[in-house]
Amino acid sequence: MNDVPQIVEINEIIEETPTIKTFVFDWDMDKFGVPSPGEFVMVWNFHNEKPMSISLIDKENSRMAISVKNVGEFSSQLHDLKVGDKIGIRGSYGNGFSNDLTDKKVLAIGGGVGMAPINAIVSDLLKKGNAVDVVPAAVTKEELLFMESLEKSGAKIHPCTDDGSFGFEGFATDCTVSLLEDNSYDFAFVCGPEIMMKGIYEILEDAGISAEYSLERYMKCALGICGQCCVDNTGWRICVEGPVFKNEKIEEISEFGKYRRNAAGIKQ
């Protein structure tokens, strides 16, 4: 881990969807450590800094990637970058997904750009002999992430779209209920809009399936100092105790799926 931004050159940009791009860059894992799936990095565009999930951890080629949805000024500036441009990266940070599972049947669910950390953990799980079912969920077909690479990886893909333009017609919650009618799983990993994860949590709890959930909050320091990303009733910091929480911890977070706070601390 490094707490000072390292300047890296973007060596590949993948236009995943009309709104999401993946930025690939070299990362000295001997010097800065090997990130774990579910961890995040702070990305610096030389003006501002934001947290981004790691979507690719390529140990063999010492590469890493972030996948960014164009939703505001910062992400729009990143989307304007070209191959050869530079950004600052510090981290990785946080509590990632459990990566000690072997020979298990695993369900991985990602909503929208929440597929970024899911993509990273799926790759890790497959290398360790796990059978992995993946539910990539999006509003429409053109926004589904990592479909081609996931199919090549050997995972079993169950895409779902809100509008029914591809795969299962309905929400990720509906698709999960459908899968559980004919399948059983040893463990699950979930990331996406919190209202989606709340529904998935209730479904998996009813089915007795242990799971981990990746949460998102407004972050500034990523070091656990500023307290900006604390969850109300526990005092847990998403940047340190999270962003990944096991289901028994999720149960203790009273705000889960209900509200979040903006940069001013106002509930949203």
Report the alpha-carbon angle 221-224-225, nearest 5. Answer: 70
Q: What's the length of the chain?
A: 268
pLDDT reported for residue 262: 63
230 among annotated binding-site residues: no
137 near 192, Cβ under 8 Å?
yes
Q: Pairing relation of β-strands 105-111 and 156-157? A: unpaired
Q: What percent of the chain has pLDDT over 90?
A: 78
How far apart are alpha carbons 34 and 20 in whole angstroms? 25
Give every CB contact of residue 194 below 8 A, 6+ residues apart in sequence.
215, 216, 256, 257, 260
Helix (H) or strand (E) holding 243: none
CA 25 to CA 11: how far, in whole Å? 5
Is residue 87 within 8 Å of 9, Cβ to Cβ?
A: no
Is 239 a known ligand-binding residue?
yes
Query: At 43, which amino acid appears?
Result: V
3.40.50.1970, 2.40.30.10, 3.40.50.11890, 3.30.410.40: which CATH number matches 2-93? 2.40.30.10
Nearest to 94 by CA among 220, 224, 239, 231: 239
Element (H, E) at 115: helix 115-127
- pLDDT, tens digit, 9 for 90 and up, residues 201-255: 999 999 999 999 999 887 888 888 888 888 888 889 999 998 999 999 998 998 8
Average pLDDT rounded to a whole number, residues 101-127? 95
Q: Tell me the residue ranges of DSSP E strands in the chain.
A: 2-15, 20-26, 40-44, 49-58, 63-69, 86-93, 105-111, 131-138, 156-157, 160-161, 168-169, 187-191, 211-214, 244-246
**Domain spans in the chain, listed from the N-terminal domain onward:** 2-93, 105-214
- Name the nearest CA neighbour of 36 among 111, 94, 112, 90: 94
- Cα dihedral 135→138→142→144 (10° resolution): -30
229 is in an annotated binding site: yes
Mean pLDDT of 109-129: 95
Give the global pTM: 0.93
Specify whether the CB–CB gap between 55 and 117 falls below 8 A.
Answer: yes
Between residues 235 and 83, which one has the greater pLDDT?
A: 83
At 189 the three-state DSSP class reads strand
Give 105-214's CATH code, choosing from 3.40.50.10310, 3.40.640.10, 3.40.309.10, 3.40.50.80: 3.40.50.80
- Do the Cβ atoms of 116 and 55 come closer than 8 Å? yes
Q: What is the predicted pLDDT for the residue at 224?
A: 85
Among 80, 93, 74, 149, smallest CA distance to 118 is for 149
Q: What's the confidence (pLDDT) of residue 242? A: 86
**Predicted pLDDT of residue 191:** 96
Residue 256 exposed, middle or buried by CB count within 10 Å (0-12, 13-18, 19+): buried
